[in-house]
Amino acid sequence: MSDTADVQTDRINQARLASLGTMVAGITHELNTPLGAIHSNHDVIERALLKLQDILEDEVVTPDELEEVRKIVRAMDGVLRTNGIAVERLVKLVESLRTFGRPDRAEIDRVDLHEGLDSTLAVLGHELKMISVEKDYGELPMVECYPNRINQVFMNLLHNATQAMPDGGTLGVSTSTNGGRVRIEVRDTGCGIERANLERIFEPGFTTKDGRVGMGLGLAISHQIVDQHGGTIAVDSELEEGTTFRVALPIELSPEHRALEGGDDDLK
Amino acid sequence: MNELMTTVMIVDDEEMVVGSIQSFLELETSYRVLPFTSPEAALASLDDERVHTIVADFMMPEMDGVTFLTRARELRPDATRILLTGYADKKNAIRAINEAGLYQYVQKPWDNDALTVVIRNAVERCQMYGELAERLVELETANEELAGLKDRWMKAFL
Superfamily holding A1-268: Histidine kinase-like ATPase, C-terminal domain (3.30.565.10)
Residues of A with CB under 8 A from a CB of B: 25, 29, 32-37, 39-41, 43-44, 47-48, 51, 71-72, 74-76, 78-79, 81-82, 85-86, 89, 126, 129-130, 132
* Res. A228: pLDDT tops 80: yes
* Res. B8: pLDDT tops 60: yes
Mean pLDDT, rounded, for A179-201: 90
Contact A170, A134 (CB under 8 A): yes
Q: How many CB atoms lie within 10 A of CB B86?
A: 19
Nearest to A74 among B24, B26, B88 (CB): B26
pLDDT of residue A12: 65
Residue of B nearest to A45 (CA): B24
* B39-59 tens-digit pLDDT: 999 999 998 898 999 999 998
The residue with greater pLDDT, A227 or A125, is A227
Main-chain phi, psi angles of A243, to 5 degrees: -130, 145
Does B154 fall in a domain?
A: no
Mean pLDDT, rounded, for B96-101: 80
Cβ separation of B21 and A40 shorter than 8 Å?
yes
List CB contacts (< 8 A) between A72 and chain B: 27
Mean pLDDT, rounded, for B125-135: 90
Residues of B with CB under 8 A from a CB of A: 14-17, 19-24, 26-28, 59, 61, 86-88, 108-110, 112
Domain count, chain B: 1
* Res. A11: pLDDT tops 80: no
Does B147 fall in a domain?
A: no
Comparing A124-138, B30-44, B78-92, the range with the smallest average pLDDT is B78-92
Q: How confident is the model at residue A202 (pLDDT cuts 50, 70, 90)?
A: confident
Mean pLDDT, rounded, for A62-71: 92
Count of alpha carbons within 13 angstroms of residue B29, beta-carbon side = 23
Mean pLDDT, rounded, for A134-154: 93
User: What is the spatial distance between Cα A93 and Cα A64, in angstroms, rounded to a whole number?
Assistant: 44
List CB contacts (< 8 A) between B86 and chain A: 29, 32-33
Average pLDDT value over all residues in chain B: 90
Q: Where are the domains of chain A?
A: 1-268
What one-letter code names the amino acid at A24? V
ipTM: 0.81
User: What is the spatial distance between Cα B111 and Cα A115, in angstroms, rounded to a whole number?
Assistant: 37
pLDDT of residue A260: 63
Comparing A16-20, A35-39, A117-121, B39-43, the range with the smallest average pLDDT is A16-20
Contact B106, B55 (CB under 8 A): yes
List CB contacts (< 8 A) between A51 and chain B: 27
Nearest to A71 among B15, B27, B112 (CB): B27
Q: How confident is the model at residue B156 (pLDDT cuts 50, 70, 90)?
A: confident
Domain harbouring B81, CATH code = 3.40.50.2300
What one-letter code names the amino acid at A244? T
User: What is the spatial distance between Cα B22 and Cα A78, in angstroms, rounded to a whole number?
Assistant: 8
How do beta strands A109-111 and A143-145 pair? antiparallel
For residue B56, what are the domain limits?
A: 3-128
Q: How confident is the model at residue A232 (pLDDT cuts 50, 70, 90)?
A: very high
Indicate which of B4, B15, B16 best probes the interface with A, i.e. most A CBs within 10 Å of its own CB. Answer: B16
Nearest to A79 among B17, B23, B108 (CB): B23
* Res. A219: pLDDT tops 90: no
* Res. A73: pLDDT tops 50: yes
Does B139 fall in a domain?
A: no
pLDDT of residue B67: 92
The residue with greater pLDDT, A3 or B83, is B83
Helix H, strand E, coil C: the string for chain A is CCHHHHHHHHHHHHHHHHHHHHHHHHHHHHHHHHHHHHHHHHHHHHHHHHHHHHHHCCCCCCHHHHHHHHHHHHHHHHHHHHHHHHHHHHHHHHHHHHHHHCHHHHCCEEECHHHHHHHHHHHCHHHHCCEEEEEEECCCCCEEECHHHHHHHHHHHHHHHHHCCCCCEEEEEEEEEECCEEEEEEEECCCCCCHHHHCCCCCCCCCCCCCCCCCCCHHHHHHHHHHHCCCEEEEEEECCCEEEEEEEEECCCCHHHHCCCCCHHHHC
